[in-house]
Chains A and B, each alone.
Chain A
Amino acid sequence: ILNVEQSPQSLHVQEGDSTNFTCSFPSSNFYALHWYRWETAKSPEALFVMTLNGDEKKKGRISATLNTKEGYSYLYIKGSQPEDSATYLCAFVSTGNQFYFGTGTSLTVIP
């Protein structure tokens, strides 16, 4: 069993604040790292797929970085809005095509 850890477990921020979360994963057998956004009563939706050490991805106010050598990825949200409230999941994908999800970071943006 492979351990993927996300921190913090939950986060409350004021509208307009910038925030970031961490995903830690094993540095061996790495194939890809995924980030998903999961709103209550919905299904997870993809944010980013990252494969190369040093990758940086951006979508609007959300961006992510990847360090495969030390086994971590950061997700950043700039100028948080109430609609950003969700659980953010990361998933480590092994070279055997198995997905290992973290337990997520629950973000609440207070208007």
Chain B
Amino acid sequence: NAGVTQTPKFRVLKTGQSMTLLCAQDMNHEYMYWYRQDPGMGLRLIHYSVGEGTTAKGEVPDGYNVSRLKKQNFLLGLESAAPSQTSVYFCASRRTGPETQYFGPGTRLLVL
């Protein structure tokens, strides 16, 4: 049982480049979340999904897109990276109901 995994662990991008971050969970969880973590800002929700094929905007969705084509995977896309998107990105998943979230190890992204 790997839990929640994230790929890649670290990436450097140039402004304007695109990339996709992959989150995978093997716990059959319905809900999946993408957060960014910035100094002094805590964790902020970018997008989330309540089930396969569904996505919704969180607190800071601008500049990001997501897809949940398979229940176990939640992809976060940056179409045209900007320096303001330099951050640590965390994925999380959970079961339905008032259940705890399980977090992935994080992806550190640097946009130059």
Contacts and interface: CB of A to CB of B under 8 A. Distances in A.
Nearest to A43: B103
Given A97-B50, A99-B33, A46 B101 contact: yes
Contact of B98 (A1, A32, A42, A44): A32
B59 A1 contact: yes
Contacts of B40: 103
A100 B98 contact: no
Contacts of B33: 99
Interface string B71-112: 000000000000000000010000000111111111000000
Contacts of B104: 43
Interface residues of A, number: 23
Given A51-B98, A99-B101, A102-B42, 15 more contacts: A1-B59, A32-B98, A34-B100, A34-B101, A42-B105, A43-B104, A44-B101, A49-B98, A49-B99, A100-B45, A101-B35, A101-B44, A101-B45, A103-B40, A103-B42
Interface of A: 1, 31-32, 34, 36, 42-46, 49, 51, 89, 91, 93, 97-104
18 contacts: A32-B98, A36-B101, A42-B105, A43-B104, A44-B43, A44-B90, A46-B101, A49-B99, A49-B100, A51-B98, A89-B42, A97-B31, A98-B48, A99-B33, A100-B45, A101-B44, A103-B40, A103-B41
